[in-house]
Amino acid sequence: MIANGYLRADGRKGIRNVTAVIYLVECAHHVARRVVELAQDDDVHLLGFPGCYPNEYSLRMMKALATHPNVGGVVLVSLGCEGFNREALASNIEASGRPVRTVVIQQAGGTRSGIETALAAVKQVREEMIRAERRVPMHFSDLVVGTICGGSDGTSGIAANPAVGRAFDRLVDAGASCLFEETGEMIGCEGAMSTRAASPEVAEAIVASIHNAEKYYRAMGYGSFAPGNAEGGLSTLEEKSAGAYVKSGSRAINGVIRPAQQPDAPGLYLLDVVPDTAPKFGFPNISDNSEIVELMACGAHLTLFTTGRGSVVGSAIAPVIKITGNPETYALMSEDMDIDAGRVLEGKSTLDEVGDDIFNLVVSVASGALSKSESLGHREFVLTYKSIDAVGPACHPTRA
């Protein structure tokens, strides 16, 4: 079972107790980064949004991230004249029962005094977090797990991704919530996926989200199938898509959610990240970490990251577990890789055995053990502009 979690006022439970230092515009980035460096505490993490102009999506995302179950308290660092609605964010965090301080650099007297004020605020917030700390038993029904892939190669679709699918099946059966995404890389799977829908409404939402992704990527002039894919043995777009889709396992799909929407009931969910509008602000997600950030905003306590070529990234707030299906990558980058799914290709293990290893590691990391990227100090975070409705054709059941 999972070790005790950190109970939050909304009833959710965290697997970490992070103090988030959040800069609200790039102009406040240096002050916030120095505060995190000077705090010399692995549980003080840096988050931020670089833009000056307000954006409904980034405010919604920051509200969800600052009240993520792994976050216990927050210090906001503002320059003072940026467009970000810091008052709305601060009152939202306060309403969640978390300690929060806002430091405005222009009011504090500049860089040096801004750093001093914010560092003192971090110390106060951490003291309040320790006083308020409540550890309670955590069950699978309290746990949310996301998955993505990055730096994929020919082994991803046959070793690491199906092994994660096996782990997802075990997690869903145990009562956890599991989130998968990348609708733009699942074109061709909508038929198979909709047969797994828990209701006709969910089936309709799945098909609509994939058709929308197809339309959006076509308008962007971006196609997913590259010549290297055929050289590696992939023949069609839908075959490549199926390789990404198998991360979702085989259980019923309970619903379709949008970024910063948290599922109310356990089960398996598709996270739809593609806007309904014509392309605006560029790609739906600019890098793997922006996908991880959206999974976190939907409540993911940790992320299962499959890779072939060997990604090294981790994340602020929520641990990342790295799974590679490529034996050479594992040999070369074993310090960064948590799970060697390449054993399946070498005939040393079955997919079920690797799936069990992933499941057991999820329990151990949720119980406090550090993943490899965490212990190496990876705390990446990226949030950029986006235009997406809070609720699109999405639908999800509520807890009975």
Partner 1 sequence: MNTGNPIPVAAIVLHPADSVAVCRRNVAAGEALPLEGELVVARADVALGHKIARCFIPLGAVVVKYGIAIGSATKDIHPGDWVHLHNLKSNYISSHVRDSEEQTT
Q: Which of residues 11-30 bind partner 1 (CB under 8 A)?
A: none
- Our finding on whether 243 is near partner 1 (CB under 8 A) is yes
Secondary structure (H, E, C), 335-384: CCCCEEHHHHCCCCCCHHHHHHHHHHHHHHHHCCCCCHHHHCCCCCCCCC
CB of 237 to partner 1, least distance (A): 5
The string over 49-79, giving b where at least 16 C-beta atoms fall within 10 Å of a residue's C-beta and e elsewhere, is: bbbeeebebbbbbbbbbbbbbbbbbbbbbbb
- Residue among 134 and 348 whose Cβ is closer to partner 1: 348
Per DSSP, what are the bridge partners of residue 381?
A: none
- Residue among 128 and 352 whose Cβ is closer to partner 1: 352
* Rounded CA separation 303/311 (Å): 14
- Our finding on whether 155 is near partner 1 (CB under 8 A) is yes
Beta strands in 173-319 (DSSP E): 177-180, 253-257, 267-271, 302-307
Per DSSP, 159 falls in state I
CB of 337 to partner 1, least distance (A): 19
- Residue among 228 and 368 whose Cβ is closer to partner 1: 228
- Our finding on whether 368 is near partner 1 (CB under 8 A) is no
- Our finding on whether 370 is near partner 1 (CB under 8 A) is no
Q: Which of residues 168-187 bind partner 1 (CB under 8 A)?
A: 187
CB of 348 to partner 1, least distance (A): 8
Contact with partner 1 (CB under 8 A) among 71, 189, 257, 341: 189
Q: What order do you get walking across the sheet with 144-149 strand by strand?
A: 253-257, 267-271, 177-180, 144-149, 302-307, 320-324, 339-340
Contact with partner 1 (CB under 8 A) among 1, 95, 136, 192: 192
* Rounded CA separation 70/201 (Å): 32
Contact with partner 1 (CB under 8 A) among 168, 245, 305, 359: 245
Are the CB atoms for 83 and 54 separated by under 8 Å?
Answer: yes
CB of 193 to partner 1, least distance (A): 9
Binding site for partner 1 (CB under 8 A): 154-155, 157-158, 162, 187-189, 191-192, 223, 225, 227, 229-239, 242-243, 245-246, 344-347
